[in-house]
Amino acid sequence: MTIKVKAIIGSTSSASYNLKVVETMRRRYEGKLDITPVFINALEPFAIDIENDPTPNVLDFKADVADSDAVLFAVPEYNFSIPGTLKNAIDWMSRGELILQGKPAFIIGASMGQLGSVRAQQHLREILSNPNLAPAILPQNEVYIGAVHTKLDDDGNLSDETTLAFLDKVVDNFIKFYEKEAAATVR
């Protein structure tokens, strides 16, 4: 069985390191995970005034994320936190149809800094604990890819063997976690 994963790319940059990591994961774990990147670039700012009549971009984004078995958050760190565009996307998912509640999820993050988005991921976990969001997040498998620019080959693929071996373990742990979560919801 292949798990259908939507990867929410937390950066709007066309040269996003997090997108490059997700693309490496998409190829590397094909057959285990069917990873599809989901972009947040076109989402209008969340506002109470349009909450009950969201734009087609918002509806398409939410439908795309809802049409998954699991979610992968790929988060960069901006000013010691998550990017504003990612917070906006999360705000949209916390309203109307609550598409994240109970959905298995895991988090990765890459940055040029040595800490690899650790602060952003801490904030993201805090935000996702909101009852209107509340995905089932894989515990104790934090993926902080620091100095990511030194861990890519000339084609932009993640090539650092130590990092890839660690990702292999995290993905295996996520698959076991997903299976356990899926079995619990069947009962």
pLDDT tens readout for residues 117-172:
999 999 999 999 999 999 999 999 999 999 999 999 999 999 999 999 999 999 99
Task: Measure the CA–CA gap between 118 and 172, rounded to whole angstroms.
Answer: 22
pLDDT value of position 185? 79
pLDDT value of position 187? 54
Pair 132, 98: CB distance under 8 Å: yes
Ramachandran category for residue 75: left, alpha or beta (phi over 0 → left; psi -120 to 50 → alpha): beta
pLDDT value of position 1? 83
* 27 pLDDT more than 60: yes
The angle formed by the CA atoms of residues 98, 25 and 2, to the nearest 5 degrees, is 65
pLDDT value of position 186? 64
